[in-house]
Amino acid sequence: MRRFNSIRDTIATREASLVKHRTWSYRFAEEILNSRLDLKKEIIDVVDSSILPFDQLTRPNLNKEFEKRFLEHGWDTQPHVGGDEIDPRLDFMKGRVGVEVAFSHASFIGIDLLKFQIMSYSSLDRIDVGVYIVATSDFIRKMEKEHNQKWEGSLPFEKVKNYLPNVRSAIQVPVYLIGLEV
């Protein structure tokens, strides 16, 4: 919980976004993360402490804020999925936990989830769980209608939650889904 040191802090916080979140666990991802509680707390801290003014809460700015905060916690940034220079990259990785921040278009869902699957596959065996951070439908709607920010086309939490059980034979790695709310 944030403490206010002055009236100026209180006013600045009202003008800034306080990002909240909701979660959903696929294939016991939350239980796996709970066995690495320090990493789970770091992830939640990054999400919950990312405060930007609403007029600056764009996809690129929020990505930069997350990158800054993950790096402060010692996470590796942009690790190659397969170890080869031409391979795709995850956003962050630490202690066998991979994180993908997905504020891009919804059409990237398959590619993003496949990165987790490849990194957990037996020949690579680099992660035990993936964490997928996306915006909720409410977040997207509020950012567009109330704050005039361009979030249309972003992948919503609800779509991922409905999608994952339908691809359970292809995506076998546990995925912890985090949906941003304001």
User: Which pLDDT score, from 0 to 100, does residue 51 have?
Assistant: 86
Residues 6+ apart with CB under 8 A from 179: 21, 22, 23, 24, 134, 135, 136, 139, 156, 157, 158
Residues 6+ apart with CB under 8 A from 93: 75, 76, 79, 99, 119, 126, 127
Give the residue among 153, 180, 170, 181 at the shortest CA–CA distance from 27.
170
Give the residue among 37, 11, 5, 63 at the shortest CA–CA distance from 176.
37
pLDDT per position as a tens digit, 120-163: 986 789 999 999 999 999 999 999 999 999 999 999 999 999 99
pLDDT over 90, % of the chain: 76
Calculate the alpha carbon distances from 171 to 71, 79, 82, 166 in Å. 28, 20, 17, 9
CATH number for domain 15-181, candidates 3.20.10.10, 1.10.3720.10, 3.40.228.10, 3.40.91.20 = 3.40.91.20
CB atoms inside a 10 Å sphere around CB 122: 5
User: Which pLDDT score, from 0 to 100, does residue 6 have?
Assistant: 38
Calpha distance 131→23 (Å, rounded): 10
Q: How confident is the model at residue 84 (pLDDT cuts 50, 70, 90)?
A: confident
Which tokens is 140 given? 């997207």
More confidently predicted of 122 and 178:
178
Q: What is the mean pLDDT of residues 157-175?
A: 96
Weakest-pLDDT range from 13-22, 48-57, 61-70, 82-91? 13-22
User: Which pLDDT score, from 0 to 100, does residue 71 have?
Assistant: 98
Residue 82 has pLDDT above 60, yes or no: yes
Q: What angle do CA 78, 81, 86 make, to 5 degrees?
A: 85
Average pLDDT, the chain: 89
